[in-house]
Chains A and B, each alone.
Chain A
Amino acid sequence: MKLTGRIIAAVLTVLCAVSPVRAAAGGEAAPAQVTVGSKVFTESVILGEMLQLLASEAGAQATHQRQLGGTRVLWNALLGGDIDAYPEYTGTLTQEILVDEKLRTQAQLEQALADRGLRMTAPLGFNNTYAMGVKETLARRLGLRTISDLKKHPDLVMGFGNEFMDRADGWPGLQTRYHLPQTNVRGLDHDLAYRGIASGTLDVTDIYTTDAEIAYYKLRALEDDLHYFPVYNAVILYRADLAQRAPEVVAMYKRLAGLIDAPTMSRLNAQVKLDGRSESAVAAGFLRRSLHLDVDEQVTSPWQRFWQHTVEHLVLVGISLSAAILLAIPLGILAARRQRIGQLVLGVAGIIQTIPSLALFVFMIPLLGIGGPPAIVALFLYSLLPIVRNTYAGLKDIPPAIVESAQALGLPRGARLRIVELPLATRAILAGIKTSAVINVGTATLGALIGAGGYGQPILTGIRLDNTALILQGAVPAAVLALLVQGIFELIERGLLPKGLRGQPGRAASASPP
């Protein structure tokens, strides 16, 4: 039990260690707080780094929520005020986010944004539209030059980024416009699609015209001969209130307009993806050269990053799991006591469990914004079922003779639960908690997609940069943490499990006669 106390103390220490950081971030009133975001692909992260550096340069205290999971997450975060600015593309705004408004002109788009309390800068100077990418060798062999040429080859295997698969301006529209016959089409991560092409498992993928990989993998971008893809001019999208709160930051952002042409962006992307430089360094280098700003990239040591991810991950797991334990055990008891409510509770917890984890994270954004809180709530919901179910099963599995004996002694309900039933269900309940803990630690890596940080951060970056070492920097600690948490509960079990239940009940046979 002493050990348990020490573990609890250690967890509390870790939890407390986080709060000063938060306090410092919200404490001083003088510099404006600016939070920028970026999507989960390299170009967006580089631009996001620029936004952070520029805001700092303008005197604001800037943070960057890197590589959030997809357009919707960022759009909702911007609307909700979780972030103040992020790099976006005009095509995405008109063809995807605001497609129902059928915006035709620049003025209409600006009005639609203004209606939502948003603004955008003038285009940054490059059009990063979609294209269909095919390996140069394959293109030459099949004579592919335009997207229309794909019609003659229905057997080609297509793999598209998940966003492109579902977007109104993505594959569904493209297929209709060109009458493409291919049926072997799958959705996958945009960065992984390049690897699919390189390994030959995929023949055609969607590419962003500024992607560094086009040259690296020797791909041919097929001509959009029916002019299906709209123009995707990069802009900075920001909240109108930022202009009041931190006008100097907005002024800084406006200086980016027209500054980055397509070859430049492609080169910056290549510096990160192919040369292995950090987004921060590439962004800072560009700003120094083009705007003659004296900005420094943020240098964080791997250990600093590791420590930060560890703290973030522990906070996610610690709070969500503790809350789940506190609620799930009473729910399990209730379920065991009352048949009807029990079925309802188990049913609801079961339904929550079937929601894909990423979807659950994203569901939380409109309610709780981005960052730690929505991730904690999602993880909390995920952790409920194993504990509820095991508490229920543990109580239900107690032999009726024992339950009745406790009743017949005259012990009231609460005392029966405390003295007899819960101790006998200890093993089952702890098994449920262990299952929840392992699921929780693993699922928490997805929190990075909604800005909650943790070990998912290096994993996401690693996938994006095709860097296995980076992926392992997140995956290995997550696995170790899962084992560690399980070990802790193993120790708690040793302290908590009643002595009479520890050994195998095999001694009865060899006991002395009555």
Chain B
Amino acid sequence: MARLEDHREIQHTSRMLVLSQVSKRYGGTEALTATDIQVSNGETLVLIGPSGCGKSTLLRLIAGLVQPDSGTITFEGSAVTPASILLARRRMGYVIQEGGLFPHLNVRENVTVMARYLRRDAAWIDGRLAELAQLVRLPQELMTRFPAELSGGQRQRVSLMRALMLDPDLLLLDEPLGALDPMIRYQLQQELKTIFAELGKTVVLVTHDIAEAAFFGQTLVLMRDGRIVQTGSFRDLARNPAEAFVEEFISAQREPMAQLAAALG
């Protein structure tokens, strides 16, 4: 048994994150049926699907915010358990839809809260903060503002800074741009992609927007009713849909654009 696991581990050394047969129920409803997913180093994986399909549950399982009913999650070679999760989380950055910023702390305090808790060197913290502000293009004078004094886009930039503060290996983003208006959303998409490329991080991103998924993802995982419908590039999904739902999901979001294009044409 032990040998078998060793063998599997060696096989997956290039895998940053491995979920095998992970499932989760909430009361009577199955949020996630037994699911396998692998994420390689440096890969950007996009979880996509209609609301309630289980994509957010999957992300929360990875971050250890909920415990799986069955199956194992392996992060950088070791199993994610309630005992190991605190340390594992320091190597994961997590960004959620509304940013999840602490309203009573200013930007600086929000970004550096974990570093200060770990008693990192003050000069290092200041340096890292300036570096990240530059990366996400957040002006220095906003550092003392409170979240309520920021725009939605600014809040997402701060949330990203906070996630990146300890230079994590894995970045988890749960609909990071979902609450933004289209113009800002578009701009931030461009910037995020640049940042991902620049940092070379492994990214797992959740969205319900197929265009956004296609824009970010090397690999798309399309989900429905707690199971994976199809995994592949956008091209795969569009050209070789595994089932009718894949086609429907893609065209449902493309149709309005096509009509718009036709009207303009």
Interface assignment of B149: CB less than 8 Å from any CB of chain A: yes
Q: Answer yes or no: B129 CB below 8 A from chain A CBs.
A: no
**Chain A residues closer than 8 Å to B150, beta-carbon distance:** 508, 511
Q: Check if B250 is an interface residue, CB within 8 A of chain A.
A: no
Quick one: given A407-B65, A410-B87, A514-B154, are A505 and B113 in contact (CB under 8 Å)? no
Question: Chain A residues with Cβ under 8 A from B63's Cβ?
Answer: 407-408
- Identify B103's interface contact among A406, A500, A514, CB under 8 A: A500
- Cβ of B188 and Cβ of A420 under 8 Å apart? no
Given contacts A408-B94, A419-B117, A514-B151, A505 and B187 within 8 Å (CB-CB):
no
Q: Is the CB of B114 within 8 A of A404?
A: no
Distance in Å from the Cβ of B246 to the closest Cβ of chain A?
31
How many angstroms from the CA of A412 to the CA of B114 in the assembled complex? Answer: 10
When distances are taken between beta carbons in the complex, the residues of chain B under 8 Å from A498 are 104-105
Pick from A412, A507, A511, A512: contact of B86, CB below 8 A.
A412
Assess the B96–A514 pair: CB atoms within 8 A: no
- Assembled-state Cα–Cα distance A408/B59 (Å): 11
Instruction: State A402–B94 Cα separation when bound (angstroms).
Output: 12
Query: Does A513 have its Cβ within 8 Å of any Cβ on chain B?
Result: yes
- Answer whether A408 and B65 are a contact pair too, CB < 8 Å, given A505-B103, A508-B148, A508-B149: yes
Q: Which of A405, A424, A500 sits near B148, CB closer than 8 Å?
A: A500
B151-162 CB mask vs A (1 if < 8 Å, else 0) is 111101100001
- Whether, in the assembled complex, B201 has its beta carbon less than 8 Å from a beta carbon of chain A, the answer is no
User: Which residues, 37 to 87 on A, are CB-close (under 8 Å) to B?
Assistant: none
With both beta carbons as reference points, the residue of chain B lying nearest to A424 in the complex is identified as B104
B136 to chain A, nearest CB (A): 10
Residues of chain B lying within 8 A (CB to CB) of residue A292: none
In the complex, A410 Cα to B147 Cα: how many Å? 21
Output the least CB separation between A359 and chain B (Å): 42
Most buried by A among B65, B100, B149: B100
Q: Which of A397-419 contact B (CB under 8 A)?
A: 401-402, 404-412, 415, 419
Q: Return B117 CB to nearest CB of chain A, in Å.
A: 6
The complex places the Cα of A420 from the Cα of B97 at a distance, in Å, of 19
Query: Considering the complex, which residues of chain A in the window 457-514 have a beta carbon less than 8 Å from any beta carbon of chain B?
Result: 498-501, 503, 505-508, 511-514
Q: Which residues of chain B in 80-98 are interfacial with respect to chain A, using CB atoms and an 8 Å cutoff?
A: 86-90, 92, 94, 96-98
CB distance A501 to B103 under 8 Å? yes
Does B146 have its Cβ within 8 Å of any Cβ on chain A?
yes
Separation in Å of the A496 CB from the closest CB of chain B? 11
Q: Are B96 and A409 in contact (CB under 8 A)?
A: no
List B residues 91-149 near A (Cβ within 8 Å): 92, 94, 96-106, 113-114, 117, 146-149
- Quick one: which of A499, A501, A508 contacts B151, CB cutoff 8 A? A508
- Which chain B residues lie closer than 8 Å to A511 at the CB level? 149-151, 154
B184 sits at the interface (CB 8 A): yes
Instruction: Report A's interface with B, CB cutoff 8 A.
Output: 401-402, 404-412, 415, 419-420, 423-424, 498-501, 503, 505-508, 511-514
17 A-B pairs (CB sep. < 8 Å): A401-B96, A401-B98, A402-B100, A402-B101, A408-B63, A408-B92, A408-B172, A409-B113, A409-B114, A410-B90, A419-B117, A499-B104, A500-B147, A506-B148, A508-B150, A514-B154, A514-B184
Q: A410-B90, A514-B151, A514-B153 are in contact. List 8 more A-B contacts (CB 8 A).
A: A404-B96, A408-B100, A410-B88, A411-B113, A500-B106, A508-B149, A511-B150, A513-B151
**Closest 6 A/B residue pairs (Cβ):** A514-B153, A405-B100, A498-B104, A505-B148, A410-B89, A408-B94
